[in-house]
Structure 1
């Protein structure tokens, strides 16, 4: 699946852990499609888990946080995933648009 709405941005902590933020801002009619993309990414993350999920400070190997904010006619969905760099890059590579 190539996301039609989510756009990923990566950052590396320099110690082997990364954070991948995916964001989309849409009108109400497109929200179900965005949420389906989020669920597809989360399902991949769970199915290819590098270890237990949860806050890294509490012993988790990877974690995900989803935020949904509505402002007028627009809803912004943000999905942040943190985990081992190689795993996160494989996740983003799985959903990267092909050239």
Structure 2
């Protein structure tokens, strides 16, 4: 499924772990479509999990956090995923080609 709303921003800690922020800012009428994309991304990461989900400093192999903020007519959705670099890059490649 190609993403129409979420845009990935990537950062590397230099030690093999990365952070991928998938973000979209939309009007209320588009929010259901964005949330469908979020669920699609989460389904992929769970299906291709590199190990147990949880905070990396507590032994998790990957983790994800979702934030939804509304300001005026706009809602910003941020899905932050952390985990092994190669795994995260495969995630981005899957959704962005």
The two structures have a TM-score, normalised by structure 1, of 0.96
Distance 1:84 1:78 in 2: 20
Kindly report which structure 2 residues correspond to 1:1-99, keeping only aligned pairs within 5 A, or say none. 1-96=1-96, 98=97
Distance 1:19 1:88 in 2: 8
Report deviation, 1:81: 0.3
Distance 1:36 1:86 in 2: 25
Q: Paired residues, what number?
A: 97
Report deviation, 1:57: 0.9
Report deviation, 1:19: 0.2
Distance 2:43 2:2 in 1: 15
The two structures have a TM-score, normalised by structure 2, of 0.98
Distance 2:54 2:71 in 1: 29
* Structure 1 stretches of at least 4 aligned residues deviating more than 2 Å after TM superposition: none
Unaligned runs of 5+ in 2: none
Distance 1:23 1:47 in 2: 21
